[in-house]
A = this chain, B = another copy of it.
Protein backbone atom coordinates (compact mmCIF):
# COMPACT_ATOMS: atom_id res chain seq x y z
CA UNK A 1 0.00 0.00 0.00
CA UNK A 2 2.88 2.47 0.25
CA UNK A 3 2.86 5.07 -2.51
CA UNK A 4 6.12 6.48 -3.87
CA UNK A 5 6.00 9.55 -6.12
CA UNK A 6 8.64 11.38 -8.05
CA UNK A 7 8.08 14.84 -9.49
CA UNK A 8 10.76 15.65 -12.05
CA UNK A 9 11.31 16.74 -15.66
CA UNK A 10 10.62 14.74 -18.79
CA UNK A 11 12.20 11.30 -18.95
CA UNK A 12 12.27 8.34 -21.30
CA UNK A 13 10.62 4.96 -20.85
CA UNK A 14 13.80 3.22 -19.71
CA UNK A 15 14.35 5.80 -17.00
CA UNK A 16 10.78 5.37 -15.80
CA UNK A 17 11.14 1.63 -15.60
CA UNK A 18 14.45 1.91 -13.76
CA UNK A 19 12.95 4.30 -11.22
CA UNK A 20 9.96 2.02 -10.63
CA UNK A 21 12.16 -1.02 -10.11
CA UNK A 22 14.76 0.72 -8.00
CA UNK A 23 12.39 2.61 -5.70
CA UNK A 24 10.21 -0.44 -5.13
CA UNK A 25 13.10 -2.80 -4.46
CA UNK A 26 14.88 -0.57 -2.00
CA UNK A 27 11.76 0.53 -0.13
CA UNK A 28 10.62 -3.08 0.09
CA UNK A 29 13.91 -4.08 1.69
CA UNK A 30 14.07 -1.11 4.06
CA UNK A 31 10.45 -1.28 5.22
CA UNK A 32 10.08 -5.11 5.13
CA UNK A 33 6.97 -4.89 2.98
CA UNK A 34 6.51 -7.10 -0.11
CA UNK A 35 7.23 -5.44 -3.46
CA UNK A 36 3.72 -6.36 -4.59
CA UNK A 37 2.25 -3.80 -2.19
CA UNK A 38 3.96 -0.77 -3.70
CA UNK A 39 2.59 1.83 -6.09
CA UNK A 40 4.96 4.23 -7.88
CA UNK A 41 3.69 7.39 -9.59
CA UNK A 42 5.92 9.35 -11.96
CA UNK A 43 4.93 12.98 -12.51
CA UNK A 44 6.73 14.73 -15.36
CA UNK A 45 6.87 18.52 -15.49
CA UNK A 46 7.53 20.93 -18.29
CA UNK A 47 10.44 23.18 -17.34
CA UNK A 48 8.15 26.22 -17.46
CA UNK A 49 6.20 24.67 -14.58
CA UNK A 50 9.08 24.31 -12.14
CA UNK A 51 10.67 27.00 -10.04
CA UNK A 52 14.10 26.58 -8.52
CA UNK A 53 15.36 29.25 -6.18
CA UNK A 54 12.63 31.60 -7.34
CA UNK A 55 13.43 31.30 -11.04
CA UNK A 56 11.59 29.43 -13.80
CA UNK A 57 13.62 26.34 -14.61
CA UNK A 58 13.32 26.87 -18.37
CA UNK A 59 15.16 30.17 -17.97
CA UNK A 60 17.81 28.72 -15.70
CA UNK A 61 18.50 26.09 -18.34
CA UNK A 62 18.50 28.58 -21.22
CA UNK A 63 21.16 30.63 -19.49
CA UNK A 64 23.35 27.83 -18.26
CA UNK A 65 23.25 25.55 -21.29
CA UNK A 66 21.57 22.19 -21.63
CA UNK A 67 21.45 19.84 -18.69
CA UNK A 68 19.19 16.98 -17.71
CA UNK A 69 16.72 18.37 -15.26
CA UNK A 70 15.00 19.29 -13.05
Contacts and interface: CB of A to CB of B under 8 A. Distances in A.
Interface of A: 1-9, 11, 13, 15-28, 30-33, 35-45, 48-57, 59, 67-70
B18 A30 contact: yes
Given A39-B51, A54-B21, A56-B20, A2 B7 contact: yes
Nearest to A34: B53
A70 B2 contact: yes
A24 B53 contact: yes
A1 B39 contact: yes
Contacts of A6: 2-5, 27
Contact of A16 (B4, B35, B56, B69): B56
16 contacts: A1-B8, A2-B69, A3-B39, A4-B51, A5-B7, A17-B56, A19-B27, A21-B54, A24-B51, A32-B68, A35-B54, A38-B51, A40-B54, A41-B45, A41-B51, A42-B45
